[in-house]
Amino acid sequence: QVHLVESGGGSVQAGGSLKLSCALSGFMYDQYCLAWFRQAPGKEREGVVGIDGDGSTTYPYPDSDKGHFTISKDNAKNTLYLQMNNLKPEDTAMYFCAADVLRSKCPAYGLGAVGFGYWGQGTLVTVSS
């Protein structure tokens, strides 16, 4: 059975950093697109960054701030990570990890949630000014 479990959320001041983890089990996750999404209160869920089965990173848009979020995975530890730097109050949201077990390559533009059939329960990140 597929399980994704996020951890590492919390409260941080603006400018700080936080690293989220997502424990993966129940599927051959190293072959598929994995991604982080977030949903702020009153807003739609949006893709943050994805990682292809071959380890390539996919950002939602060409002008995405690549230094702001970094995705990685440790196959030996069955874990997906999201390193978040220079956090801003607008980064406050529930963060989710997700898996698309039909594609090895993440969506090329927009990183939409369609196709991601497995989700974690989310971990809350709160950034204060």
Per-residue pLDDT band at 7 (split at 50, 70, 90): very high
DSSP 104: S
**Per-residue pLDDT at 22:** 98
Overall size of the chain counted in residues: 129
Q: What is the mean pLDDT of residues 77-85?
A: 96
Express each pLDDT in 89-113 by its tens digit. Answer: 999 999 999 999 899 999 888 888 8
pLDDT of 93: 98
pLDDT at res. 63: 82
CA angle 5, 18, 35 (to 5 degrees): 45
CB atoms within 10 A of CB 106: 25
82 CB burial (10 A radius; 0-12, 13-18, 19+): buried
pLDDT in tens, 21-36: 999 998 888 889 999 9
Q: What is the mean pLDDT of residues 8-12?
A: 98
